[in-house]
Amino acid sequence: AISGPLGYRSRQPGRGVLVARIDESISVAQFEARLQLLLKQTEDLYWDLWAAHQLYRAQTRARDNAYQLWQRVLQRATAGLEGGGAADEAQAQETYYHRQELADDALANLFEAQGRLRRLIGLPTNDEYLFWPIDQPASAQKLLDWRPSLAEALSRRIELRQQKLRIHSLELQLRAAKSLAHPQLDLVSGVQLNGLGDDLFSGSSPSSSAYGDLFDGNDSGWNAGVEFSMPFGFRAER
């Protein structure tokens, strides 16, 4: 179960059933690790999209406030009141344009965050829908117990499971390699189906042909025994 049958030319054993099963378990663990990474990346992009929405809303409110301030400065300038001079109007206008630029950048970042999330979950990059996160981040304080978390991580973490499986596979392969440095005693057996005749195939008398004798099984044979092998010095195995 640890090592497979020996090769005809190389005389090296193949992988056994136990080693092949461990390799399959390692592949399953790798799939679980990729799935876990996909879920984590999806959650991270979801909250990035939520943060982009909040930033865009904040920038649009700041832009609207700057526009209202600019309009009040214009009204003061029209009425000839204090605070409505040309310098005040230019400063309010510049503030509004700056806030408009920040709002446009926040909108571009929002579309970029949505595009990354769409590509990750396999949706079209552009369509008529805009993602709007409905879940809010938890604001409650979380206190984690270190010891149970460490024990759970040591027993269930995928990377540690993979390393344990690899170590176990190497231990089995080492046992299989050590077994090659011992004399080998095998049970061998065989069956021969022989066909004898004057002709290879005869239509008039099939029994006198080689094919007919082969199918009749008149000259079949068998052998059984043991085979002992011990290379001198076991130089190749060592």
Q: Are the C-beta atoms of 192 and 221 separated by less than 8 Å?
A: yes
What gap in Å lies between CA 170 and CA 181, rounded to an integer? 17
C-alpha 147: how far from its chain's center? Answer: 29
Question: In this model, does residue 45 exceed pLDDT 90?
Answer: yes
Contact (Cβ atoms closer than 8 angstroms) between residue 59 and residue 103: yes
Q: Rounded mean pLDDT of 86-113?
A: 92
Q: pLDDT band at residue 8, thresholds of 50, 70 and 90?
A: very low
Q: How far apart are CA 18 and CA 172, in angstroms?
A: 8
Angle between helices 158-179 and 146-156 (to 10 degrees): 40
The alpha carbon of residue 152 and the mean position of all alpha carbons in its chain are separated, in whole angstroms, by 22
Tell me the whole-structure pTM to 2 decimals. Answer: 0.62
Please report which helix (H) or strand (E) contains residue 4, including its range.
strand 3-6
Residue 4 contacts residue 12 (beta carbons within 8 Å)? no
Q: What is the percent of the chain with per-residue pLDDT over 70, rounded to a whole number?
A: 86
Higher pLDDT, 14 or 46: 46
- Cα separation of 106 and 52, whole Å? 7
| Distance from C-alpha of 19 to C-alpha of 4, rounded to nearest angstrom | 10
pLDDT at position 222 over 80: yes
62 has pLDDT over 50: yes
Both tokens of 10, joined, read 């190389």
* pLDDT, position 18: 85
